[in-house]
Amino acid sequence: MKILVINGPNLNMLGIREPDHYGKETYADLLAKIQNHCQAKGIEVEVYQSNHEGDLVDAIQKAYGTADGIVINPGAYTHTSIAILDAVKSVSIPTVEVHISKVEEREDFRQISYVRLACVKTITGHGTDGYLEAIDYLAEGMKK
């Protein structure tokens, strides 16, 4: 079972950017948290981050035939990118959308999520634990 975790723009700035919204854990902390969790559960995981929309599309396409599940936090591209939505639809890999902050309680422009239309589940406002919940959700689904 292999899961690909994809993070979009500015998520590499975790720990520095807007701690009131995103907490104090750094991106390196997030990587370690995901890797430790997956190791303990015997899940193969790859984590990818890019600030560039096309690179995120490439990463989703590359998952075709190699990953059993995708966890994606597209950052601000959540609210703008039809290309990322189409990429997730193209590969037909079960995908969970994660947001560290509670986007539904933030600005109006954050209320649209294109990628959500192709996702089996959305987790918001659980901090970085949301990534682990998403991984567990996909892993449970794969056992069935």
Q: Interface residues with ligand DQA (CB under 6 A)?
A: 10, 73, 75-76, 78, 99-101, 103, 110
Minimum distance, C-beta of residue 75 to ligand DQA, in the bound complex (Å): 3
Whichever of 18 and 44 has its CB closer to ligand DQA, that residue is 18
Is 37 a residue of the active site? no
**Considering 77, 99, 114, 131, which one is annotated as catalytic?**
99
SS (H, E, C) the chain: CEEEEEECCCHHHCCCCCHHHHCCCCHHHHHHHHHHHHHHHCCEEEEEECCCHHHHHHHHHHCCCCCCEEEEECHHHHHCCHHHHHHHHHHCCCEEEEECCCHHHCCHHHCCCCHHHHCCEEEECCCCHHHHHHHHHHHHHHHC
**Considering 22, 27, 77, 114, which one is annotated as catalytic?**
22
Is 22 a residue of the active site? yes
Whichever of 1 and 13 has its CB closer to ligand DQA, that residue is 13
Whichever of 2 and 79 has its CB closer to ligand DQA, that residue is 79
Active-site amino acid positions: 22, 99
